[in-house]
């Protein structure tokens, strides 16, 4: 504990920008269904999508000191990702720190703990995904780490990884996989657009995907309902 | 496992229509406080009330194959009710399936698991009540059942039962009890309207319901507070 | 069980009014980070802040009888605070009781259990903070207590204490500490206003609060990141 | 509410006796992986296996009155299965009721709530599977139902169904499926005995079940680890 | 924060000794079903009953410093009761502190958080009731309070109160109510002994407690089961 | 998905053997309080301590196919560590697989999900740490991964890492840190032995660790209790 890694390698900013146009669900699918943070991570206000590069912060329970340390390590376009070393619901972050984040070009906060001042955060338009909302404050007494690999909401996040968040949750894309994932995501979007039209016309997934033979092979039986009345 | 019951008997569509004008809380009370799904079932977006007839789907954890099978079994006015065989938070349903549901006249989804594409679902106006929101996708490998009795969010749901859902949650009315429940619900609404006026005038429930004698009989004591300062 | 304390001593109404202009997070900090209800207590609708004096109610699981008893004990400006004697998610309160509360000048409900009729409560503008939303009704069979000290959402609430609630949660201020807390809250607000400006200008908390020497003393090490690619 | 169904039809006692020699895991598998109560249901003391016929009890939260009513409906060999109408952790049952159960030949209690006097229950050797242990008592004020279908720990239990419980949990076998399930369970036990020997000899499931071709077909790739040091 | 109250008034040691012969469930009933800690509080090892006088400790999340401070405030026969200011699962206590507790005549630990070294604690025979078991250590950086009223596992505990714990959980008896509660507990035990005999003889609670008339008055209906097969 | 990494590099077997003589709490402390799995991971039976090298398995919810694949990748002394890609309580493992594990010299199973046949596992003496116990079976339909980094119970586990488990939980030591951690653990044990003696003699942690000056500096105040009676 007590380590700050400086000068991390970040994902390609072009890839980040391109991924920001895609949804979390699409990207998560496109990269093989990995990297999705636990579904208890919810946005403080809805309707926003952000993408950025992760600056990771490991914090003790009830202690937000290292978030202050992390700000200095950020570049324009970063997203700070915070995880406590044991589960904690305290409010590590409020409108003051949000002002500091915004002044440094930090695009969002992802925190596996609580935040507060949610009315102010909403008014400021600073996007946060958190485990809960709590006014319970934190202390500044114990060191943690900045820019080490962390587990946030059940997923590994490495410094420099791509973070994509929207109303469906938060997904992590490995630093060097942005281009590949973007490509697969676009292909997926195209396929989905076609399927959407066919579904809208009333075609069944059973037919579009030719599921009937395999269902039969697995033994699916169609039985008549009891005739009643 | 692996059974689809076809041609189920559905509740009377007139009863369903009439129940759709009543709230979940009212109907739940009127039918003797039974059939309410667990309160963790929440709407993806608020402000909607829907009623329909249940097509039930039992699914394995992390596998949404049977939802595709179920669509074909639906009629205009049905509501698909999905329960996994063991607890699961995965996102079984998104905007593509919603397009398919809408094309087939399915009025809502009730699912004791997760859904995704919630911004799109909200924009489409397709109502969903779910346990959580998660972008985590599912596979199509293992059979389940369609139109067998299931336990969804701690309640029994039979195919053809009436499903009523609004911002207070989801309640199930047995297929053949719609008329009776509608009648009792209306009576309840009338009584409540009268009580609402009296409450608004400042009358106490203690007096309206003549509670004081029974409270005294049970031994309620009124004691003076300590005189301080 | 079965006791109603009448004629409780309430906090100074001027202090209550002044605290209502301050946020829950600020007041919680100003009084030394105590008295915050557990973060699972959430508003039924957002955007409201209320302050009032507590009338406390201890209720059995699934029984709301004592809420009726409590209304009569209320004065204009009170907030009813309800806690069940064992955890319960039932809907103890709906639009009818809300009409009664409003007629008696009761400003809000804080309940460590469920409420229902949330669309109606929102339309009426009656503010409620609760553990959950549930249409499951309650009975009126067993006594509880009014105006005894209770534990609500992990905090002690005494009758006459000040209750302050907003989108960040609910905080309790002891009856005789309102003036002191208001003073400290205002001082805190001033300090925060200054810090907010400095943060907005890009100054770091590390510098504003002179954290660097203490971080060094604790052993914080800055290490270069691996040079990659 | 308020109904006691008398003279229920019970599963064949011979089938019950034969199932009592089989484990919960085996029976659950043999009947197609259905009917298993949620895993939070745990035995008060370990090392016991019981089978019996269900007498079902639906109770209000915090009210055990109907358990008294249910005892009279029991026959030698029954197991009482209790579920509250909303989640509750109260201690509905202790050593006194256990004495009454034992005097009436009731073989076990399955309860989706709490029990108490666990040291005494253990000393008496009366087996209980419950959601939790709690000394919190209950009242006797509100009716429930006896011998109606209930949902206990996420599963439907009908009166007269077979209940089998051991250290792995609790499984329900439908009243008329005992013979079929017993047969399939025995076949399963035989197959498992053979597999156990082969596993003990070091044979792999991959080979015994000829999994390799299907794994390859699904696309499983074997890659060399990074050569390090 | 940061207060140690010295020289607290303790409950009568004779009352404590007498209560130690009674069970938690009995005492909880006898004092009107109040004071029971939440059922998630479980003993590290079973089979022990202890009674003592509470020395209360309020601790920050992840910080056990104040437990060291509290030991010095203890007398022979005290029980230390610890609650964090926000929920925490860390292991605040292990075999070293247990050695210190035992040397000072402290009879048990009640902690609404985690403990570790459970094999050693069991071997030492030092009884602990805790929320969980966790090897995660704590720091010594932030002050808390000793001998102020706290909320532990949803109950108020005052310094000097009587703490009684066994396999059923933990109950708090107010400092000055020990004699009265002991008296009522003994009466209850006598009544229960009589009822136990009658239950053992097969008498029903329905008859012993003359429940039938009131059940009928509430509307309980006995219906015949469907005649099947 | 669908990758098996063969020929992983394992931690030094000598270091593993030496760590097996140390407790989880000690090792966790010695390595700077990192690597501890979440406290919900509990042993199926108590009293065992094991150390081994991790073979990691990422599995879909409700699908244990990859555990069969993983066995073939194991060497004598390995411990299989399993994590599902979304939370799941199903019973992935029972006595048959345990027989296979034992035949291949696998020393334990660590699984962030359920297991079954716990009476048999206990009789066989095969140690398992799991999230829960459940008889609910799994399928063999969908690929996962073997020997990729996984998140198990909130911690990163890499293939070849050291796994140490006892009654206090499970801790992961990085593959190349075994020697260093062993050294620090031994030093810690020595220090603790000395402190244990001093604690046993009644010395206070306040004095042994010279805490009083720092407590005073932080502002700790000792106040007299109210003189009562």
Mutation target for F interface from E68, E98, E135, E146: give the one with most F CBs within 10 A: E135
pLDDT for position D227: 59
Q: Do B1 and D33 touch (CB under 8 A)?
A: yes
Q: Answer yes or no: is pLDDT of D108 > 70.
A: yes
pLDDT bracket for residue B227 (50, 70, 90):
low
- Which residues neighbour C132 within 8 Å (Cβ) at sequence distance 6 or greater? B39, B40, C89, C113, C114
Q: Do F156 and A156 touch (CB under 8 A)?
A: yes
Distance from CA of F83 to the nearest CA of A (A): 10
Smallest Cβ distance to F225: which of E71, E104, E147? E147
Q: Do E223 and D65 touch (CB under 8 A)?
A: no
pLDDT for position F227: 58
Residues from B contacting D (CB-CB < 8 Å) are 1, 32-34, 38, 85, 87, 149, 151, 154-156
Q: Do F90 and B61 touch (CB under 8 A)?
A: yes
Output the average pLDDT for chain B. 96
Cα separation of E17 and E25, whole Å?
17
Q: Do C133 and B42 touch (CB under 8 A)?
A: yes
Residues from B contacting F (CB-CB < 8 Å) are 60-63, 85-90, 134, 136, 139, 141-142
Smallest Cβ distance to F103: which of D192, D202, D209? D202
SS3 of C123, please?
helix
D158 by Cβ neighbours in 10 Å (0-12 / 13-18 / 19+) ranks as middle
Q: Do F201 and E103 touch (CB under 8 A)?
A: yes
Q: Answer yes or no: is pLDDT of E228 > 60.
A: no
B189 by Cβ neighbours in 10 Å (0-12 / 13-18 / 19+) ranks as middle
Residues of C in contact with A144 (CB under 8 A): none
Across the range B69-74, mean pLDDT stands at: 98
Mutation target for E interface from F220, F221, F224, F227: give the one with most E CBs within 10 A: F220
Distance from CA of A85 to the nearest CA of E (A): 9
Chain D, nearest residue to E218 by Cα: D143
Quick one: which of F64, F83, F75, F52 has its CA closest to F148? F83
pLDDT for position A225: 85
Inter-chain CB pairs, D–F, below 8 Å: 114
CB atoms within 10 A of CB C16: 23
pLDDT bracket for residue E227 (50, 70, 90):
low
* Residue percentage of chain C with pLDDT more than 90: 97
Across the range A38-54, mean pLDDT stands at: 98
| Element holding E210 (H helix, E strand) | none
Mutation target for F interface from D192, D215, D229: give the one with most F CBs within 10 A: D215
Q: What is the DSSP letter of C159?
A: T
Q: Do D116 and E25 touch (CB under 8 A)?
A: yes
Residues of F in contact with A38 (CB under 8 A): 87
Smallest Cβ distance to C28: which of A9, A135, A159? A135
Residues from F contacting E (CB-CB < 8 Å) are 23-25, 28-29, 33, 36, 39-40, 42, 46-47, 166-169, 171, 192, 195-196, 199-206, 209, 211, 215, 218-226, 228-229
Report angle CA E161, E164, E165 to the nearest 5 degrees.
140
Across the range A10-37, mean pLDDT stands at: 96
Structure tokens at A108: 């969002």
What is the Cα A66 distance to its own chain's centre? 21
Q: Do E39 and D9 touch (CB under 8 A)?
A: no
Structure tokens at F169: 């939980």
Which tops the pLDDT comparison, E151 or C227? E151
pLDDT for position B229: 45
pLDDT for position D224: 94
Residue E171 main-chain phi, psi, to 5 deg: -125, 145
Q: Do D1 and B155 touch (CB under 8 A)?
A: no
In sequence order, the β-bridge partners of residue D3 are D145, E221
Smallest Cβ distance to C151: which of E32, E33, E156? E156
Residue E132 main-chain phi, psi, to 5 deg: -165, 175
Across the range E74-83, mean pLDDT stands at: 98
Structure tokens at D136: 């919190």
* Residue percentage of chain E with pLDDT more than 90: 97
Cα separation of A122 and D161, whole Å?
54
Distance from CA of E203 to the nearest CA of C (A): 27
pLDDT bracket for residue E1 (50, 70, 90):
confident
Distance from CA of E63 to the nearest CA of D (A): 29
pLDDT tens by residue, A171-202: 999 999 999 999 999 999 999 999 999 999 99
| Element holding D16 (H helix, E strand) | helix D13-19
């Amino acid at each position: 504990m007590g380590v700050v890694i400086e000068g991390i390698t970040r994902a390609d900013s072009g890839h980040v920008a391109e991924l920001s146009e895609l949804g979390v669900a699409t990207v998560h699918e496109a990269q093989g269904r990995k990297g999705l943070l636990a579904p208890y991570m919810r946005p403080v206000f809805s309707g926003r999508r952000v993408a950025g590069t992760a600056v990771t912060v490991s914090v003790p329970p009830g202690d937000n000191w290292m978030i202050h340390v992390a700000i200095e390590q950020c570049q324009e376009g970063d997203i700070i990702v915070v995880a406590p070393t044991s589960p904690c619901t305290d409010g590590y972050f409020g409108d003051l720190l949000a002002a500091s984040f915004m002044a440094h070009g930090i695009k969002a906060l992802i925190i596996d703990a609580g935040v507060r001042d949610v009315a102010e955060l909403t008014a400021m338009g600073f996007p946060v995904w958190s485990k809960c909302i709590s006014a319970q404050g934190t202390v500044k007494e114990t060191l943690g780490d900045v820019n080490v690999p962390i587990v946030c909401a059940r997923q590994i996040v490495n410094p420099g990884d791509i973070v994509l968040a929207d109303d469906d949750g938060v997904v992590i894309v490995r630093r060097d996989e942005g281009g590949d994932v973007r490509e697969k995501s676009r292909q997926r979007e195209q396929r989905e657009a076609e399927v959407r039209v066919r579904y809208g016309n009333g075609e069944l997934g059973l037919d579009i995907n030719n599921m009937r033979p395999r269902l039969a092979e697995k033994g699916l039986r169609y039985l008549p309902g009891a005739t009643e009345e």
